[in-house]
């Protein structure tokens, strides 16, 4: 029995000595010591990062369309016709942007003044309008044209026999479409006003249109 107790005591002592030999290699250091792995700035940490790659669903900044002044196009619709019984003055500046080699689009304003005199009456017409337009180029020398517009018309007709005057005011819509030739930045098209309003500034039926941009 004594031998058993002695054997158990020796075994317990050996286990206790082995447990005491296990320790952690930690030391107390100051907060700004270079051995402190937790100090501010994380200088002892080094994280490897992979550069971001652009996938097919991402868009590079260089791919975003930017406004280019060189693609601006300036044009004007000028009208002048003088005779003893008919006077027509018109100006219509337009600004376009060459979106690509197939499409030119823009907007414009215009003012027309016309006076018609007959032996029975005198007709005066003032028109102020705005429009948007586009030229589509399916081929190099072919141009398709579309121009919706809204015009304000003020007309007066005076009868020469009695001096009575009749005035007309109101908004007149138009939708002009056409097609023809493209010659550089100029166009010669055969146009038609789809609305055919009675006070439309455009001729009835088909008519020839010429435009140029610089």
Query: In angstroms, how far is CA 53 from the centroid of its own chain?
Result: 29
Query: With DSSP H G I counted as helix, E B as strand and the rest as coil, what are the percentages for the chain, rounded to 5?
Result: 10, 50, 35
**% the chain with pLDDT above 90:** 50
For 185-206, how does the pLDDT look when each residue is reduced to its tens digit (9 = 90+)?
Answer: 999 999 999 999 988 888 889 9
Cβ pair 197, 170 in contact under 8 A: no
**Position 12 in a domain:** no
CB within 8 A of 36, min separation 6: which ones? 29, 30
- Decide the pairing of beta strands 186-193 and 207-212: antiparallel
pTM over 0.85: no
- For the beta carbon of residue 7, count every other beta carbon within 10 angstroms: 10
**Position 112 in a domain:** yes
Query: Looking at residue 180, which CATH number applies to its domain?
Result: 2.40.160
**Position 27 in a domain:** no
| pLDDT at residue number 132 | 97
For residue 20, pLDDT over 90 is answered with: no
**Position 52 in a domain:** no
For residue 94, pLDDT over 50 is answered with: yes
In 25-45, which positions are buried (b, 16+ CB within 10 angstroms) versus exposed (e)? eeeeeeeeeeeeeeeeeeeee
Structural domain range at position 91: 70-212
Q: Determine the Cα–Cα distance for residues 103 and 189; give it in Å rounded to an integer.
A: 16
**Position 9 in a domain:** no
Q: What are phi and psi of 58, to 5 degrees?
A: -100, 155
- Looking at the structure of the chain, the number of domains it has is 1
| pLDDT at residue number 186 | 93
Mean pLDDT over 29-47 rounds to 57
**Position 44 in a domain:** no
**Position 13 in a domain:** no
Cβ pair 178, 190 in contact under 8 A: yes
**Position 39 in a domain:** no
Mean pLDDT over 107-128 rounds to 93
Mean pLDDT over 96-102 rounds to 96
């Amino acid at each position: 029995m004594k031998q058993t107790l002695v054997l158990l005591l020796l075994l317990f002592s050996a286990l206790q000595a082995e447990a005491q030999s296990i320790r952690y290699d930690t030391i107390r250091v100051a907060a700004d010591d270079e051995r402190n792995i937790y100090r501010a700035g994380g200088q002892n940490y080094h994280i490897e990062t992979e550069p971001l790659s652009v996938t097919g669903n991402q868009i590079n900044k260089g791919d975003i369309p930017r406004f280019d002044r060189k693609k601006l196009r300036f044009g004007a619709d000028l009208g002048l016709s003088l005779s003893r019984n008919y006077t027509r003055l018109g100006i219509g500046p337009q600004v376009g942007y060459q979106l690509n080699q197939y499409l030119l689009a823009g907007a414009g304003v215009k003012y027309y003044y016309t006076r018609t005199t007959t032996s029975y009456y005198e007709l005066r017409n003032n028109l102020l309008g705005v429009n948007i337009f586009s030229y589509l180029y399916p081929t190099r020398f072919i141009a398709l044209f579309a121009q919706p517009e809204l015009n304000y018309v003020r007309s007066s007709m005076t009868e020469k026999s009695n001096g009575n005057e009749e005035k007309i005011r109101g908004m007149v819509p138009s939708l002009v479409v056409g097609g023809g030739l493209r010659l550089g930045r100029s166009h010669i098209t055969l146009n038609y006003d789809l609305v055919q309003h009675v006070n439309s500034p455009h001729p009835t039926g088909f008519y020839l249109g010429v435009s140029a941009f610089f």
